[in-house]
Structure 1
Amino acid sequence: MPNRLEVTVLVENQPLGRGLLGEHGLAFHLRADGREVLFDTGQGLALAHNAEALGIDLAALGTVVLSHGHYDHAGGLPLVLARCGPADVYLHRAALAAKFNRDGKDIGAPAAALAALGAARVHEVAAPTEILPGLYASGPVPRRHAFEDTGGPFYRDPGKVEEDPVTDDQALYALLPEGVVVLLGCCHAGVVNTLDYIGELTGGQPVHAVIGGTHLLRAGEERLARTADLLARLDVRLLAPNHCTGLNAQCYLRRRFPDRYAEAPAGTRFVFGKAG
């Protein structure tokens, strides 16, 4: 497992303060024992600016992981790969497919992002995959809880004939001395489905932190309550939902977990593991 993990929210809807940009998107910069990973890339509008402002050198990246193929997570790929060269890129093959929202609008990875992958070392993630020692991509998450949905509907065609279950959705998780740290892109598979699956993969190791997008934007009271009940049962010590969580869900979770809840706008940094 990593001795130390630094997680910086590089792109998010809101900036932490002056000098940073917000955009509808998400990107995390990870530094694990001196090695650097980018989890998602945002739309690509704020990425370079925020990286420079936060002292993060995109050229030092060796690995990029995509949570799924929506534009607000994959749009920055051309910029990232232009800066760091032929990096290892981990994604599910469905991340490359066409994607549309409830209005028939194209929300898939931009053509430039797909083209940029031609110069990368692409690894298709079809099952849990170790990215670095102790750092894993979950791969596709089994959908076992019927009360959770994708937060859509989403579609595979502009005519909205074929619904898209967002099978490419995956989380990133790290095994650390404090417990498991889970990073979520949009969590279209559902928070409960995802945490249940990661618990299965880790043999029930305690979950220390859950950070990222939860797509509870349109969740009703029952789903919010059942999600919070699981977080309570898992005794999660740090909960930092952002991006697509939605204000109502954020307020609900803050009320349920007042001492464990943290904001996570662009510029926020979390440090886990041993100091130094």
Structure 2
Amino acid sequence: MVKDLAITVLVENTAWGRDLLGEHGLAWWIEADGHRILFDTGQGYVLKHNAKQLDISLNAAEAIVLSHGHDDHAGGLSDVLAECGAEVDLYLHPDTLKPKYSPRGEIGAPLRDADELERRVRRLVVTAEPMQVVPGVWLTGTIPRTHPLEDTGGSFWHDRDRQEIDRLLDDRSLFIETSKGLVVVLGCAHSGVINTLDYIADLTGVRRIYAVMGGMHLLRANRERLQATVDALSRYEVQHVGANHCTGTKAISFFWERLLDRCFECRVGTRFEVRD
């Protein structure tokens, strides 16, 4: 269980504070009892700048985790590895290494050659199974898709000709054990927020989730799905909800209207802490 937790938003669509920059992407700096994890890297344009402004040393990371293989989460990987690759463990799902396309074209991770990655990091961990990254901080495995209202949030393929559908099985989240309950950090939640929370609850046996933050890919969600998501957050007694990145303005407004002061703004520069 983590006794001293701090989560800082390094990359997000919007910025909070002087001299910080936003981009369409997401990256988190997680400090857990002295361990440091970089969760996603954004597109790569603002990560190093924001880290410097926030007095965060990326070369202090001992692990880098990618939530999935889209370029707005994995685009900055090569730059980060140039700084600290020899000292970090890199965690990937096998499908993160596959080509990825959307209606706007290729959107896969720029660096996805397994041999090159293995040369550039201390340890490359490619797995679809849940595993502990550092004590008290866990990475989900492939998240089962069971809720009838949830989908990936768009059309995605593994090939340019749009013949092989990408179900985004590499979409994963982090969850952190604290005395106040689990803290869940999402990438894009292409698996669905409800599916993700249900899976984490099944993995851990814990039915109390203290905080959920990250991208929820609800841009196209109808009112029924939004309400089902709010109901799930309430069912798990979530006290803090920081929806950002790909969640969408409509969905974020829906959450704020119904969850009120349980919501918090989650921009570049936001710092979320849990301490015993």
**TM class, shorter-length:** over 0.9
CA–CA separation in structure 1 for the residues paired with 2:70 and 2:179 = 33
Alignment of 1:206-221 (within 5 A): 206-221=208-223
Aligned residue identity for 1:146? P
Q: Secondary structure at the match of 2:261?
A: coil
Aligned residue identity for 2:4? R
Shift of 1:233: 1.2
CA–CA separation in structure 2 for the residues paired with 1:186 and 1:111 = 19
**CA deviations over 1:105-148 (Å, ceiling 9, x no partner):** 00000147864553122101221100011110001100011210
Instruction: Give the structure-1-normalised TM-score.
Output: 0.96
Aligned residue identity for 1:168? D
CA–CA separation in structure 2 for the residues paired with 1:112 and 1:161 = 21
Alignment of 1:57-136 (within 5 A): 57-86=57-86, 87-103=88-104, 105-111=105-111, 115-116=116-117, 118-120=119-121, 121-136=123-138
Shift of 1:17: 2.0
CA contact (8 A) 2:184 2:213 kept: yes
Q: 1:214 to 1:80 in 2, by over 3 A?
A: same
Q: Secondary structure at the match of 1:175?
A: strand
Percentage identity across paired residues of the two chains: 49
Asked if 1:6 is matched to 2:9, the reply is no
Aligned residue identity for 1:59? N
CA contact (8 A) 1:74 1:113 kept: no
Instruction: Give the equivalent residue in structure 1 for 2:181.
Output: 179
Shift of 1:234: 1.2
**CA deviations over 1:196-237 (Å, ceiling 9, x no partner):** 000111102410000100001110111101111111111100
CA–CA separation in structure 2 for the residues paired with 1:194 and 1:44 = 26
Q: Secondary structure at the match of 1:224?
A: helix
Deviation larger for 112-121 or 31-40 = 112-121
Gaps of 5+ in 2: none
Aligned residue identity for 2:3? N
CA–CA separation in structure 2 for the residues paired with 1:269 and 1:31 = 11
**CA deviations over 1:221-269 (Å, ceiling 9, x no partner):** 1110111111111110000000000000000001011110001010100
CA contact (8 A) 2:97 2:112 kept: no
Task: State the Cα RMSD in Å.
Answer: 1.2
Aligned residue identity for 1:66? L
Q: 1:106 to 1:71 in 2, by over 3 A?
A: same
Q: 1:22 to 1:77 in 2, by over 3 A?
A: same
**CA deviations over 1:23-68 (Å, ceiling 9, x no partner):** 0000000111111100000011000000000000011111000000
Aligned residue identity for 2:96? A
CA–CA separation in structure 1 for the residues paired with 2:113 and 2:25 = 15
Q: Which runs of 4+ in 1 moved over 4 A?
A: 112-117
Deviation larger for 169-178 or 80-89 = 80-89
CA contact (8 A) 1:149 1:189 kept: yes
CA–CA separation in structure 1 for the residues paired with 2:221 and 2:39 = 25
Corresponding residue to 2:194 among 183, 192, 195: 192
CA–CA separation in structure 1 for the residues paired with 2:158 and 2:70 = 12
Instruction: Give the equivalent residue in structure 2 for 1:35.
Output: 35
Q: Secondary structure at the match of 1:267?
A: coil
CA–CA separation in structure 1 for the residues paired with 2:53 and 2:205 = 39
Alignment of 1:225-264 (within 5 A): 225-264=227-266
Asked if 1:53 is matched to 2:53, the reply is yes
Task: Number of aligned residue pairs: give it.
Answer: 273
CA contact (8 A) 2:153 2:220 kept: yes
CA contact (8 A) 1:78 1:112 kept: no
